[in-house]
Amino acid sequence: MSVNEIYTNYIKGPALDVFSNPKNLIFGSTVHFLSSIFILFSFLSLFVFFVILGSTITSESNVLIDIFKNNLNLTIDVLLIISGAVFGFFFIFSILLTFLINGYWLKTIKYTMNSQNIPDWMGVLELLKYGVIYTIGLFIIGIIFQSPFYMILLAQIVLNLPDLGILSNLPYVCSFLSWVYIPLGTLNYIEKNKFLALFNVKKSFKLYSKEYINYLVASFLLIGIYSIFELLMGYLTELVIDKVVANPNLITDPNFLSWQIFWIPALYVNSFVCFTIFLWLSRGIGTYYNISTGRNDVLTK
């Protein structure tokens, strides 16, 4: 394993490709940002819905409900309808945008395997189609790889077995194995152009070579960089949530709300990093395919 090879093939090369087309990068980051915003609003509205519903069932007064009733002059029934409708609207559109992004990442891998430049955002319906199929495939792969843990957990519950002990770390092992497998399964899916090829472990691992370890090392590094941003955003989010939980009246405080506008650029930066990293990885796995299959027409800048 050569550090220089890892850097050239999976760090420098894909980075130059990704940043060579800022228009596609910015557009994709914006789509990812909108998806994150929609997910955030959907969960906030769902939280409000269950708070109102719980208060209705228990007939207990709630500070959050009082704030809505006093400031918006709405009944509880109307608040339930509005919060439920808002959740449905934002959740559906966040899912659609996620499908669109996944379709674009898949198209990027395909273009790289064919030694083409990063694709433009054309053919939205096609991106959605392949995004839906690919996302469903990833979901199924996740279930398949986690099934050993679920089976052991079920056996523990049914047979009343003692604590899992060291086996409690099995989900992390399964997640790691799925992370190792997914790029190979994706290459097999694109190569064969068949959905079931995504789950054909035997044929997918035929695409494995020692070079794949280099790609995994680079992937681990890039995902680690993104994880730092995720931890930072999670920490900042937790701080805001704790403040609101401790003092719900803050959601009507103009001074507090004015500071929250800084979440907009922060979320956009996070979306930019996330989209860039995974586009980087998409370009990298396509590069790996070309190297491992002996194709010498890999695009480099």
Give the pLDDT confidence score for residue 298 in this predicted structure: 43
Q: Which residue has the higher pLDDT, 162 or 9?
A: 9
Q: CA 26, CA 272: separation in Å to the nearest integer?
A: 8
- Using one digit for the tens of pLDDT, what is the confidence trace for 269-280? 999 999 999 999
- Of the ranges 40-49, 68-77, 190-199, the best mean pLDDT one: 190-199
End-to-end Cα separation, the chain, in angstroms: 23
Cβ neighbour number for residue 51 with a 10 Å cutoff? 18
Angle between helices 263-292 and 211-246 (to 10 degrees): 170
- pLDDT reading at 220 higher than 80: yes
Answer whether 115's CB lies under 8 Å from 295's CB. yes
Mean pLDDT of all residues in 142-151: 86
Quickly state the pLDDT bin for 299 (edges 50, 70, 90): very low
- Using one digit for the tens of pLDDT, what is the confidence trace for 75-121? 777 778 888 898 999 999 999 999 999 999 999 999 999 988 899 99
Share of the chain above pLDDT 90, in %: 47
Mean pLDDT of all residues in 269-292: 93
Quickly state the pLDDT bin for 175 (edges 50, 70, 90): confident
Give the pLDDT confidence score for residue 110 in this predicted structure: 94
Q: CA 36, CA 33: separation in Å to the nearest integer?
A: 5
Quickly state the pLDDT bin for 140 (edges 50, 70, 90): very high
Q: Which residues contact 180 (CB under 8 A, 6 or more apart)?
A: 216
Is the torsion defined by CA of 58, 60, 65, 70 positive or negative?
Answer: positive
- pLDDT reading at 71 higher than 80: no
Q: 245 is written with which tokens? A: 């939980």
Q: Which residues contact 106 (CB under 8 A, 6 or more apart)?
A: 130, 131, 134, 186, 190, 282
What number of CA atoms fall less than 13 Å from residue 280's CA on the CB side? 27
Q: CA 20, CA 219: separation in Å to the nearest integer?
A: 20
